[in-house]
Amino acid sequence: MLRAVKKQYGQHFLVDPNILDVIGRFAELGPDDVVLEIGPGHGVLTGYLADRVGRVHAIEIDRALEPALSDLPDNVDVLFGDALQVELPQDATKLVANLPYNVATPLIVESLDGLPNIRLWCVMVQREAAERLFAEPGTKDYGAVSVLVQLVTERTGFHAVSRTVFRPPPNVDSALVAFRRRDLPANYSRIKEVVSAAFAHRRKTLPNSLALAGLAERDEAAEALTALGRPPETRAERLAPAEFIRLTEALA
């Protein structure tokens, strides 16, 4: 029996088992996998994963769900805490989860470099968030998260998900998106700073945004853009992900 959800946790519990096989296919599950699941809820996906992989680390913020997660197989470790605050398991090789909507984007972004052993992500998120991850330059959905995710990964799957697979049904559409790790760019931490600063003020030119963040003088940033073949009045959303690598190198 499903208990009442807590809105502050963005809870929408997965209840339809038919979506599990799609997740399993996208996640390419195997017996050697160590899976990180964030937000297991009532354990529907957790149990499915446990039957197919070597180990599951499940991170759940809501202590009231402890009874629902008490009868899982022995290869499941449940840790209660905020996934944005606790130390996440470094041995995880895949992140497979119905991510809580209110923390999905920061969790994905932080896992790109914070969990270097993860080689594949398969996550359920808001449809809008899923499209933002691999949005193209110049579109309204393109932003810092698009750049960072595309610099580190490539998309391998996308599947629209009906609201009816959740209880309670969310008021927004959802999607399952899968992506695989490529090599982490050299000097990624500095690139991440530049990307975050560049998109912090979308209406401003890129040199102005970087100057406001204290990462470069405006003239220096304008010269770096010129070296890329871009005019000084360029805004962040016009640059392709790879151009941010070159921009960071030019600023250095």
Divide the 252 residues of the chain into consecutive groups of 10 and give the mean pLDDT of each group: 45 76 96 97 95 98 94 97 96 96 94 98 95 97 98 97 77 92 96 97 95 96 97 97 97 89
Element (H, E) at 58: strand 55-60
Q: Which one of 181, 197, 219 terminates a domain?
A: 181
Domain assignment of residue 1, yes or no: no
The number of distinct structural domains making up the chain is: 2
Domain assignment of residue 90, yes or no: yes
For residue 108, give the nearest of 146, 62, 78, 143 by alpha carbon: 146
For residue 45, give the nearest of 96, 82, 5, 6 by alpha carbon: 96
What local confidence, expressed as pLDDT, does residue 12 receive? 67
Our measurement of the distance from residue 232's CA atom to the centroid of its chain's CA atoms, rounded to an integer in Å, reads: 31
Domain check: are 195 and 116 in the same one?
Answer: no
Q: Which one of 181, 201, 230 terminates a domain?
A: 181
In whole angstroms, give the CA distance from residue 142 to residue 135: 5
CA distances from 229 to 71, 81, 191, 206, 211 (A): 59, 47, 19, 14, 20
Domain check: are 156 and 193 in the same one?
Answer: no
Domain check: are 193 and 175 in the same one?
Answer: no
Q: What is the pTM of this model?
A: 0.91
Domain assignment of residue 2, yes or no: no
Domain check: are 197 and 92 in the same one?
Answer: no
Domain check: are 48 and 108 in the same one?
Answer: yes
Domain assignment of residue 32, yes or no: yes
Domain that holds residue 43: 7-181
